[in-house]
Structure 1
Amino acid sequence: MSDERVIDPQGAYTWDGWGTCLSWWANTELGTRDDLAAALFRLDTAKVDAAGRTVELPGLGLNIVRYNLGACTWTDGSAMVESPAIVRRKQIETFCDGDAWDWGADAHQRSMLAKARDAGADLFEMFSVSPPWWMTVNGNPSGAERGDQDNLEFQYQKEFARFIAAVARRARDEWGIRFSSVDPFNEPSLNSWHAKQNQEGCHFTLGAQEAVIELLRGALDEQGLGDVLIAASDECHYAGAARTWRSFTEDTRRLVGRVNVHAYERDEGCRSRADLRKAVGEAMPVWQSEYSEGEPDGMAMALSISRDIRFLRPSGWVCWQPVEALDWGLLDGEYDDQTPNPNGGAKGTLKGRVGGVNTKYHVLAQYTRHIRPGARILNSGHTNTIAAHDAASQRLSLVTVNNGAQRTVTYALRRLTQGTDIARVWVTDATDAPGARRYAREPDARSQDGILTLTHGAGTVTTMEIDAV
């Protein structure tokens, strides 16, 4: 099979970068590991300890870091209620128990935050999954008794906003971390957050979201953080994000500096992605702020990235947990806290290790190592190809996912270059078959008179890079 893809700079937009959330994996002792910081946030080859073996990996060069503002404390006399289904690493320690502040809390996650900064990450966002337990209706940071009930006490709405702003100010002044944005919600419209959930969570009605956004803007300004934008609302699905945005008042919309959305809606026809972009308008920045699934080969992830960029046009793309069990991570995480406690009080410690590397780590490298922050995303002419141009280096990068049979693709580059150019090529096979390529450098290809033709094997992700464009 053969097709043609015309690369067109018309309508290009600027790329903020690629990222990851910290949260659960960095809440364990993995948050103290330099090798993981190197693999995730640098571009050099990294040597990672995986179950006692040293594995060499291409650094992903992620530059966006999302920090999870916790909700749990275990101080003497604490009345916090723990879900019987939660495990210890999913309980994030907060900085205030309602009476006193403890800025030494959440040491592991803060450790990785600093390591990411030192490795080169330059965009930081703080997000809340649940208000601190003592601000909730039932003292349980996993949610209210019913999933359709708000769990932030009305009387604490202002205190919640001030709490977020106080931590952002402390991060700027004492941690050397400037959060460019804060998001007070995490999938707030879902009816899934209840007292027996297996993670932290909080439902917010539309009115509660609007109230918190307004109060948060005031609290940030009071702290001298007028340059910190509010992102919202981190809804679980594109369709839900569009409904929330359309339901916000104009006053609320003016307070939101970026729309965040999660990618847990497959949306293979891409109607929901396109509708969300239509709802927010072309000028509103969007981040796909959380993506994950339990498919280790990376094909579903590559298709989701391509669909997002073609139809949603986000400026940032963020994975949820890079080190997670059951094939949900880029790296397989092995933790000792898999058994919840039916009597409350999460079992396990904060120990963890890397057990192995999933193919989708190498699939993500095909994108993150070549489409860099500041590049312009071009119209590629096809959903399965992403085209990006870096003006500083005059480099054109093309990344194509082929989820079908072998296919020969012609890339028409005449609107960018009409000469004869060398294209460097890297390939990852989205399979565990013997001899499968993992971010492997392949023989160079050549474009002639602005035409580049390449044959893509079945089930592959291929990057092509051309200089002096």
Structure 2
Amino acid sequence: MSDERVIDAQNAYIWDGWGTCLSWWANTELGGRDDLAAALFGLDGVRVGATGGEIELPGLGLNIVRYNLGACTWTDGSAMIESPAIVRRKQIETFCDGDEWDWSADANQRTMLSKARDAGADTFEMFSVSPPWWMTVNGNPSGAEQGDQDNLAFQHQKAFAQFIAVVAKHARDQWKIRFTSVDPFNEPSLNAWHAQQNQEGCHFTRGAQEAVLECLRGALDEQGLDDVLIAASDECHYSSAADTWRNFSEGTRRLIGRVNVHAYERDEDCRSRAKLREAVGEGTPIWQSEYSEGEPDGLSMALSISRDVQHLRPRGWVCWQPVEALDWGLLDGEYDDQTPNPNGGAKGTLKGEVDGVNTKYYVLAHYTRHIRPTMRILQSGHTNTVAAHDATARRLALVTVNDSAQQSVTYNLRQLAEGERIARVWVTDATNAPNARRYAKDTDISLRDGILTLTHDPNTVTTIEIDEVEI
């Protein structure tokens, strides 16, 4: 018996796009690679250099770029304290040491920022993981002595906001990068950010968040950046994001133009996603601004995307590390800085290589290549299917993940399309089996009287694309 999924345009919303963060991979020499910029941010096929030879890949066409505003300096006489657990790749150089500005800092990440723009990215956000070390209580950009302690010194709240605004203005005027949004926090409610942990981080109580947000709006306006919206708070989990939003004052909520949230809560029953959407309401947009896990096949990623779209209704979806080791990346990255210095002063020369490609690169291609910015996300009739419509091209795209046994699915398009027409199909097998399909063009199928039936093999992601569909 076939599972029927009715595609419905009711309550459709506009899609902003797909993206990635530049830290930490672009903090290395990988930030200067044209082939990676073309693969991640372009749509053409590209050959990417890897340790075992070139890999031919479809371009992902990511259009959202999140730039990490760093917190570290190594100037003469610097009093910055470094965590004994951090590695050099995870230390992002900042532009001011408290006395002097250095706009040549953070060269690798800035280089990829420009390459992404030139390859086709068009939406840029700047986010902070920690204030610059000299604004912190203990001089350590990895966090306070205890994870539940705020590490931005109270007297520097306004200076921190002004710092963000000055960099955003400089980027617009000098780098020709217009940050449409800035986010001053990264998982601020976690108790994980302490002086001994292995990356930059900073805890903020909700009161401290509110104070910074108010200062930031004023600082942006003073710099002539009144069109730059504030996103917040990049909480780690959907549930904590809902708690943060509910506990903000009405005045603080009015300062926030978009809610950002990370996807590290699996939330398989989707209750936390739905509660966050309900708390925020439909009037404020949401981005899923960071997703990652160490599973190479892409099934968990595809399921998370589908659950987000159906229950969180975000306008954008962002992966954290596109090039990372231990199957965390879309591409496998190898770096030279895996050993921290127990006495502080992280080792490493920021060298990096691409060692291979994970199946989830091809899985993500189904979504990013066929569900493009400005398309409308439709109701799909099932959590595992994402449906989107391109009004200009008059094209409908359906992307379905099947993590169970083989199943026949009937897509009911009678509200959208009549008559007969051809539907194009692409498939990825999320397995390592011999001859597994990797974003492979499959046999076309026929749509008759608004009904299309397709058998989905186990552990697959499938894209269906149909032309001449108007809403």
Instruction: Report the TM-score range of the alignment, normalised by the length of the smaller protein.
Output: over 0.9
Q: Equivalent residue for 1:357?
A: 357
C-alpha separation between the residues in 2 aligned to 1:195 and 1:259?
A: 28
Which residue of the partner structure matches residue 296 of structure 2?
Answer: 296
In 1, distance between residues paired with 2:347 and 2:226? 41
Give the match's secondary structure for 1:38.
Answer: helix
Partner of 1:382 in structure 2?
Answer: 382
Task: Give 1:171-210 correspondences, 5 Å limit.
Answer: 171-210=171-210
2:305 matched residue in structure 1:
305
| Post-superposition offset of 1:52 | 4.5
For the residue of structure 1 that corresponds to 2:399, the secondary structure is: strand
1:268 aligned partner = 268
Separation of aligned partners in 1, 2:167 and 2:46: 32
> Cα deviations across residues 265-322 of structure 1 (Å, max 9, x unaligned)?
0000000000000000011100000000000000000000000000000000000000
SS at match of 1:410: strand
1:419 and 1:323 mapped to 2: Cα distance? Answer: 45
TM-score (norm 2): 0.99
Deviation track 1:86-138 (CA, whole Å, cap 9, x = no partner) reads 00000000000000000000000000000000011000000000000000000
Aligned twin of 1:246: 246
RMSD over aligned Cα atoms: 0.5
> How far does the alpha carbon of each residue in 1:367-386 deviate from its partner, in whole angstroms, 9 at most, with x for none?
00000000000000000000
Which residue does the alignment assign to 2:403? 403
Residue 415 (structure 1) aligns with: 415
Q: Distance in 1 between matches of 2:407 and 2:349?
A: 49
- 1:321-360 matches, cutoff 5 A: 321-360=321-360
Equivalent position of 2:449 in the other structure? 449
Deviations 1:192-228 (A, max 9, x none): 0000010000000000000000000000000000000
Cα distance between partner residues in 1 of 2:172 and 2:273: 34
DSSP-derived class of the 1:275 partner: helix
CA distance in 2, matches of 1:282, 1:272: 16
Whole-angstrom distance in 2 between the partners of 1:326 and 1:55: 19
Q: Matches of 1:252 and 1:46 in 2, distance apart?
A: 45
The residue aligned with 1:217 is 217
Aligned to 1:108: 108
The residue type paired with residue 96 of structure 1 is: C
Question: Deviation at 1:2?
Answer: 2.4
Inter-partner Cα distance in structure 1 for 2:367 and 2:151 = 39
Output the CA distance in 1 between the equivalents of 2:228 and 2:301. 30
Normalised to the residue count of structure 1, the TM-score between the two structures is 1.00
Say whether residues 1:57 and 2:57 are aligned partners.
yes
Shift of 1:349: 1.2
Name the residue aligned to 1:286. 286
Partner SS, residue 217 of structure 2: helix
The alpha-carbon deviation at position 175 of structure 1 amounts to: 0.1
Structure 1: which 4+ aligned runs deviate by more than 6 Å? none
Deviations 1:252-271 (A, max 9, x none): 00000000000000000000
What is the match of residue 94 of structure 1? 94
Residue identity opposite 2:99 in structure 1: D
Structure 1 counterpart of 2:437: 437
Distance in 2 between residues matched to 1:45 and 1:241, nearest whole Å: 38
Deviation digits for residues 46-102 of structure 1 (CA, Å, limit 9, x no counterpart): 110011501100000000000000000000000000000000000000000000000
The yes-or-no answer on 1:72 pairing with 2:68 is: no
Instruction: Give 1:347 deviation, angstroms.
Output: 1.0
Equivalent residue letter for 1:84: P
CA distance in 2, matches of 1:199, 1:193: 8
Residue-by-residue CA offset, 1:135-175 (whole Å, 9 max, x unaligned): 00000000000000000000000000000000000000000
Q: What are the ranges of 5 or more consecutive residues in structure 2 without an aligned counterpart?
A: none
2:261 is paired with a residue whose SS is: strand
Q: 2: CA distance between counterparts of 1:369 and 1:51?
A: 26
Higher deviation after alignment, 377-386 or 416-425: 416-425
User: What SS class does the counterpart of residue 209 from structure 2 fall into?
Assistant: helix
| Whole-angstrom CA distance in 1 between matches of 2:428 and 2:390 | 23
How far apart in 1 are the matches of 2:19 and 2:217?
25
Q: Which runs of 5+ in 1 are unaligned?
A: none
